[in-house]
């Protein structure tokens, strides 16, 4: 089992004065980037900017430092932190990067791809934690530019949202700021002006899995299509396990399945709730798709839960229980 990581809950209180210290480079034709521009120049510019702004307003711990010109390590927190001195560092509240994985539905929702994507921030996270600062994904979602109509509003993207949240939390990324675009014209929004969005289901199950937990761990290496996570309370007792089969199912043809066996169980039975859509990865909540969690849905406009909640049960034998997940499904197993 991998090392437990802390689950951290945050709200927006105190973020009113947060500033973003990042500079777009010459490819975006920003005036400050006239002439040559590089990660070295960018880091020096940020450090100077942080000191000037922070000292001018007399506040420390206010800057969201970092950039998003390219992926780490070329552009990232580790390189920036290495250039900071004792004068600039107190002004930084946390370090950040933008991240939009993109790609097709199948690529986006594949567990090994998500794990690899998040793993790319590990060095930056470690560098921030080493100096007592948090690391966040300052702006992120499935596909840049407001999302892709054929990808971002789908059930596959909802499953990616779930997996992405959990892998990022396990990697000690403290916050994820999901970009929500323009109301009424946002492919990856959790909800629209009049309709529910599929990503909401992914956010909901991730929240249900982590609610009240103190620690999270990944039970898999992140190298296959199959994921398993566990949460624990403060004394270390296991609370829940989340299972994910990211095999791709389009809604037609045969639907494969994958068994998951949990061991070391002490109770006689377990209950679980399934996140699924019979029409598969392309199902869209905003178009009446049949996405459900525990056979419940969320009502347009109000977001209220509709339908009768249904738990599945499994018998524990010899300390083991097996659950079968169809392709493009997730299952939340309750251990307490």
* Average pLDDT rounded to a whole number, residues 330-335: 98
- Indicate if the pLDDT at residue 5 is higher than 60: no
Closest by CA to 81, choosing from 114, 49, 127, is 127
Domain with CATH 2.60.40.1180 in the chain: 226-334
Model pTM above 0.85? yes
- The CATH architecture annotation of domain 5-212 reads Alpha-Beta Barrel (3.20)
Homologous superfamily assigned to 226-334:
Golgi alpha-mannosidase II (2.60.40.1180)
Torsional sign, CA 227, 292, 252, 114: negative
Distance CA 118, CA 71 (A): 11
Residue 242 tokens, joined: 């989340």
* pLDDT tens profile 241-295: 999 999 999 999 999 999 999 999 999 999 999 999 999 999 999 999 999 999 9
Domain with CATH 3.20.20.80 in the chain: 5-212
- Classify the phi-psi angles of 318: left when phi > 0, otherwise alpha if psi is within -120 to 50, otherwise beta: left
The predicted structure's pLDDT at residue 222: 98
* Average pLDDT rounded to a whole number, residues 109-128: 98
**63 phi and psi angles, rounded to 5 deg:** -95, 130
Closest by CA to 77, choosing from 43, 53, 49, is 43
Of residues 69 and 146, the one with the higher pLDDT is 146
């Amino acid at each position: 089992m991998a090392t437990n990581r802390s689950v951290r809950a945050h709200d927006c209180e105190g973020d009113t004065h947060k500033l973003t210290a990042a500079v777009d480079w010459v490819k975006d034709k920003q005036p400050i980037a006239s002439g040559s521009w590089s990660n070295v120049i960018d880091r020096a510019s940020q450090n100077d900017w942080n000191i000037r702004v922070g000292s001018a307003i007399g506040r420390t711990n206010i800057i969201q430092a970092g950039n998003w010109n390219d992926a780490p390590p070329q552009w990232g927190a580790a390189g920036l932190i290495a250039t900071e001195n004792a004068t600039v560092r107190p002004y930084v509240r946390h370090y950040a990067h933008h991240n939009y994985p993109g790609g097709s539905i199948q690529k986006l929702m594949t567990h090994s791809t998500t794990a690899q994507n998040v793993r790319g921030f590990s060095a930056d996270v470690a560098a921030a934690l080493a100096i007592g600062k948090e690391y966040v994904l300052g702006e992120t979602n499935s596909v840049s530019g407001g999302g892709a109509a054929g990808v971002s509003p789908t059930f596959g993207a909802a499953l990616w949202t779930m997996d992405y949240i959990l892998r990022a939390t396990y990697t000690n990324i403290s916050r994820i700021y999901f970009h929500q675009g323009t109301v009424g014209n946002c492919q990856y929004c959790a909800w629209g002006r009049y309709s529910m969005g599929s990503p909401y289901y992914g956010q909901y199950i991730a929240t249900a899995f982590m609610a009240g937990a103190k620690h999270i761990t990944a039970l898999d290496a992140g190298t296959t299509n199959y994921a398993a996570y566990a949460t624990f309370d403060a004394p270390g007792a296991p609370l829940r396990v989340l299972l994910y089969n990211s095999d791709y199912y389009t809604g037609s043809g045969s639907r494969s399945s994958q068994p998951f066996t949990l061991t070391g169980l002490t109770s006689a039975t377990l209950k679980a709730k399934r996140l699924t859509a019979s029409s598969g990865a392309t199902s869209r909540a905003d178009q009446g798709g049949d996405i459900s969690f525990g056979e419940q849905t969320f009502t347009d406009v109000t977001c209220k839960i509709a339908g009768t909640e249904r738990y599945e049960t499994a018998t524990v034998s010899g300390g083991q229980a097996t659950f079968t997940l169809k392709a493009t499904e997730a299952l939340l197993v309750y251990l307490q």
